[in-house]
Amino acid sequence: MTEQKLSDTPTDPGMEGTAEATPSALAVPAGPAVPGPGAVAALRPLGVDQARLHPEGLLGRWRRRNAEDTLPHCVDNLRGSGNIGNLQAAAGEGEQPFKGMWFADSDVHKTLEAALWELATSSGDAPLEAFVEDTVALLARAQQPDGYLNSYFTVAAPEERWRRPDWAHELYCAGHLIQAAVAGGRVGAHPGLLPIARRFADLLVERFGPDGVEEVCGHPEIETALAELYRLTGHRPYLDLARRFLDLRGRGLLGHGRFGPRYHQDHQPVRESREVAGHAVRQLYLLAGMVDVAVETGDLPLLDAAERMWDDAFHTRTYVTGAHGSRHRDEAYGDPYELPPDRAYAETCAAIASFQWNWRLLLATGRARYADEMERAVYNAIAVAVSSDGRHFFYSNPLQLRTGHVGSGEEEAARRLPWYACACCPPNIARLMASLPGYLATADEDGLQVHLYGDATLTAAVAGGPVRIEMRTDYPWQGRIELTVEGGEGLSRPWTLALRVPSWCAAYSVSIGGEPVQAPARDGYVRLTRAWTPGTRVVLDLDMPVRQVSAHPRVDAVRGCVTLARGPLVYCLEQADLPPGVVLEDVRLDPDAPVTAAHRDDLPGAPVVLSARGVLADAPDTLYTTGGASERTNTPLTLTAVPYFLWGNRKEGPMRVWIPLATTG
């Protein structure tokens, strides 16, 4: 796996055509975020049809739950909440007044994308197929003659069309429509959706392209969507418009607004940016678009800017769970090291956007740190947002819920809710989980790279021929990953199987065919190169001791606390595991006692919990005391820590990820 540098000269795949050109979907594998034939990127992704998650593993169970529970739940709520009715009204097929948020169409588009990814690897789901067929036909009827498609500005406020770029979300909704169409094009399903998206995209090119209106969207997303549409079709104006939208950022085109230009990432040109700012989801979507455009155009300064901002985000402003956004007021990043656990906004959509951004950086550079962040996010910040039944969701994901907490709105994560007035998160979860197999592994001219571990079958063409990898593991509960290499007879040359060694792993071992081998990790990957014999088994054993994780001293909110982690999982304490009468805020962790992993059969979804020794602090009677006396801790108790992604599934109650340490002396 080689890391490639981008050139300063834009590349041109030579695939430009008209809006009626035949899509080049078959020229690239079917999967999310696929660099085009002319892109300068280190890796190429496998498609969702080349990576199959088995339901025996945790990731496979999550994906099956998504298909069986989350996706049907989203479809039902789109109908019940009025999203589908809005589009029917836009098509002139009903009298329903517009319902919901003015960007409600985007939830339809995200659910449609999720359904298309799901149907790419499953068959016989008649209700889901009917939803796709009916929705694509409805979108065609609701589309205006000029290509415009947005039910709010067709039904409720036609006079406001294109007049509020800061808040209207028109380009954001268009972006999600395009993303759904790209998914359909990649998997070769429901071809009627792509012409709908292209008519809208052609309208955008006409209005906002060269010599057109100088404007950007208050909610980035269109940039990555247009880049993906270019990758699918080869129509260069889509990519040029994506780049133009990036180039126009930082000129104050969106005005000051309620929260200032930083909120919209309109305070500074993107290539000059050095720190993440403003609304976390918008910032992360913008960064994903920056990487997409950079690899397709060879824009090195643009990629450099995205990597600089990664350094800022993940070194100073990301929660230990992989979540982003510390301020509720504007759903935004805070100052460096401003990471309060109880007031964390940590929106689910931000974690998903971070996952997508890191995937694009991984493809662009091949650097393991981006796969590490994908893993941290999917097992913690994303997984926590979905209940065990797949039908209840967190919008925000704090790292602490206090005793006596009183929420101030539905986004407060005291409990998961079945739906939201602003329902952006559930459909976003659905589309990520439906496409999850496409993120497991990549390939290049030298071989196959495995980034996320789970029970799966991987197929790819390497060294001139097809190979198949059968991966079996109980990850993330255990660190043993067994891979059997099948196929590959008669390949032209040896090839490399690269396996990621996560940054949390301090020790590991590798064996091939039962024999230990010395395999030092380089740049985060063990690389095993040989002429592989079919049936050869590789075992990677990652040590998974319990870790006590401390925050940087400048994270004032959690000074004197630690987080318990094992493997990729962050753990937390829940009130449900404490003795009656014990208040969670009075619990301290004994720093000198060992913390051990233990199997537990009565907690669904978590065969491994952590057992630790704690003490109970004597809470004073007064709010403040004089003299700085140390608190007294004298009552020992056993603490059970459960995976953070499972908290809140038993009953409502306090929770904390950061545990105060008992003082000595």
Residues marked as catalytic: 331, 424
Which residues in 284-405 belong to E strands, given as ranges? 400-401
The residues near 357 (Cβ < 8 Å, ≥ 6 apart) are 284, 287, 288, 291, 306, 310
CA angle 146–189–393, rounded 5-degree value = 90
- Taking the C-alpha atoms of residue 617 and residue 630, their distance in angstroms, rounded to an integer, is 10
- Taking the C-alpha atoms of residue 132 and residue 122, their distance in angstroms, rounded to an integer, is 14
- Taking the C-alpha atoms of residue 418 and residue 73, their distance in angstroms, rounded to an integer, is 9
CA-only gyration radius of the chain, Å: 25
CA 86 remoteness from chain centre: 28
At what angle are helices 425-434 and 348-365 packed, to 10 degrees?
30
- Taking the C-alpha atoms of residue 235 and residue 87, their distance in angstroms, rounded to an integer, is 28
Q: Which two tokens stand for residue 195?
A: 């012409």
> Between the CA of residue 606 and those of 383, 514, 610, what are the distances in Å?
13, 30, 11
- Taking the C-alpha atoms of residue 468 and residue 610, their distance in angstroms, rounded to an integer, is 36
- Taking the C-alpha atoms of residue 297 and residue 308, their distance in angstroms, rounded to an integer, is 19
The residues near 131 (Cβ < 8 Å, ≥ 6 apart) are 75, 111, 112, 115
The residues near 599 (Cβ < 8 Å, ≥ 6 apart) are 607, 608, 609
CA angle 34–36–41, rounded 5-degree value = 80
Q: Answer whether 4's CB lies under 8 Å from 40's CB.
A: yes
- Taking the C-alpha atoms of residue 245 and residue 239, their distance in angstroms, rounded to an integer, is 10
Edge to edge, the sheet with strand 456-462 lists 51-53, 456-462, 465-473, 480-487, 536-542, 508-512, 515-517
Q: Answer whether 542's CB lies under 8 Å from 567's CB.
A: yes
Closest residue by Cα to residue 310 from 347, 361, 269 = 361
